[in-house]
Amino acid sequence: MAAQLGGQPIIILREGTERTRGKEARSNNIMAAKAIAAAVRTTLGPKGMDKMLVGGSVTITNDGVTILKEMDIEHPAAKMLVEVAKTQDDEVGDGTTTVAVLAGELLEQAEELLEQDVHPTNICTGYRMAAEKAVELLKDITHTITEDDENALLNIAETAMTGKGVEGSREKLAHIVVSAIRSIVDEEDGKKAVDINNIKIEKKVGKSLDDSELINGIVIGKDRAQANMPNRVKNAKIAIITRPIEFSKMELEADIKISTPGELTEYLDREEQIVKDIVDRIEAAGANVVLCQLGIEDIAQYFFAKANILAVERVEKKDIEKLARATGANLITSVDDFDASDIGSAGLVEIRGHSEDKLLYITECSNPRAVSILIRGGTEHVLDSTERALEDALRVVGVAIEDEKLVAGAGSPEIELALRLNEYASTLSGREQLAVTKFAAAMEVIPRTLAENAGLDPINMIAELKNQHEGGNKDGGLNVFEGKVENMWEKGVIEPLRVKTQAISSATEAAIMILRIDDVLAATGGSEGAGCGPGGAPCGGMGGMGGMPPGMMM
């Protein structure tokens, strides 16, 4: 790129930089974002389809955020939708597909206004006004519950797991989820708080989903390090060590001269003594159970067994953190500097199961809010899918208890918002009115997609939904199994209010951010070994097919 000054060109950008401006830049970004929305749209709802993601491993899922995380996306505008889905997952755990589909539809509706020469600033202003009004309108269709309303909590959990491959055991899993969440509810400054980090999910291949269970304590898929160790310890005193238990090898170069068999024996005895001293120090602190994040040397295992201490090696870091929280133990990073105050406690530690099915159970923990969900299933794919469904259900039940506010599901809130936002638009003047009207139209994408994915006629279903809502049935939603509109609150298809408010806010912010971009600079050349553009911008990707990354031509 060059500018002219008195007939003399001035180089501003280095050679090879590609620049896309104005309508073309905006169109390319919108196209990329819409492609991402289209990729996950068919997974929405109880009759949504699954995606098979093939990379280093095979993942089969219809979870929006999992699909977007696994996809190798290059286009920066498309990445914004991935970030929006991640935020939705972090905040509420569900609605990740909804937020991506809604953002894509907002951009598609905005595209129609851009073609009518409505300025992007006016669209953005109208979208912000509509989003604020939508959050306000949702309060009119909100239902209030309490932590004691078990039936509502079960319905929330079942709704979150619907369409995620666990329908056959959904009722039992919902009871497990609700029991787990209710057991960890805390109160902070008069408000309920749920920290799902207190819940450990352990997967074990074998048996069926109906054999899954909730354990008051921590379960990890490990066996004792040596068969001679005890497999059951009552009144356990637990040392959690994050370094290997072994003789420390010399890191500096050194020569050890051994000239006689006696000197060799003395050296080996000294090495053994150092390991024994470590074990003696752990025993002296009062520990009778040792959980080590790394390895335990064979000779150390021998001394632990001799001291009647149950030792487990190579416990995963995420499990170590949960174990520390459950038992009240401090993580021991140096075996030379710790004491009895670093030792945790539990009423019972035992190994259960046989052969390859052994599990370590740590129950009656000092922290009563430590619970585990043991998932059983026939294959790894079933376990992974169930884990994702449970994580979503745990988050939404937790959010429901924290906020105590729910709305009906199945497209009911979106249709109500579409109708009320159209009424709101009629009170406005100026071009923002057009943007609010388009925002209202975009809200219909959720019930329309639910109908399409269920093989129903979307036009008829939307018309019937609007008719029911205009008639006063504010909880009317789409029953995709029977192909008719019913009161979803009475049917038990409900969701936390925060799922909807977060999705609307995040989708609107993403759409506005993309609409405000009118200039894209991408360096296609550069020094050897460097990326194709500043900050790793995609190579030559802004022209042609809308800057679409390979494999995203849809």
Select from 390, 510, 387, 507 the least CA-distant residue to 446.
507
pLDDT of residue 323: 87
Q: What residues contact 246, with CB distance under 8 A and at least 6 apart?
A: 275, 295, 296, 297, 300
* Domain 217-250+258-367: which CATH number of 1.10.10.10, 3.50.7.10, 3.40.720.10, 3.30.70.980: 3.50.7.10
Distance separating alpha carbons of residues 345 and 328, to the nearest angstrom: 7
C-alpha torsion 316→398→167→105, nearest 10: -100
8 A C-beta contact, residue 367 and residue 378: no
How many residues belong to the chain?
A: 554
Q: Are strands 213-215 and 371-377 parallel, antiparallel or unpaired?
A: antiparallel
Select from 260, 237, 410 the least CA-distant residue to 338.
237
pLDDT of residue 131: 92
User: 10 Å Cβ neighbour count for 457?
Assistant: 12
pLDDT of residue 439: 92
The CATH number of the structural domain formed by 14-143+408-523 is 1.10.560.10
Match 């006063």 to its residue by tokens.
472
8 A C-beta contact, residue 289 and residue 348: no
Catalytic residues: 63, 96-97, 392
Task: Going from the first residue of the chain to its last (554 residues), give the mean pLDDT of each consecutive group of 10, the final group possibly shorter.
Answer: 54 61 77 85 82 76 76 80 84 84 90 87 90 90 85 86 76 88 80 82 82 86 86 89 72 56 62 82 88 87 88 88 86 81 88 79 82 85 84 87 86 90 87 89 91 88 89 86 86 87 90 82 50 43 40 40
The full DSSP string for 455-501 is T--HHHHHHHHHHHHHTT-TTEEEETTTTEEEEHHHHT-EEEHHHHH
- At residue 481, what is the residue type? F
pLDDT of residue 508: 92
C-alpha torsion 214→215→218→224, nearest 10: -110
User: Would you list the domain boundaries of the chain?
Assistant: 14-143+408-523, 217-250+258-367
CB neighbour burial string for 338-347, b if at least 16 within 10 angstroms, e if fewer = beeebbbbbe
pLDDT of residue 321: 85
Q: In this structure, what token pair is assigned to residue 85?
A: 């889905």
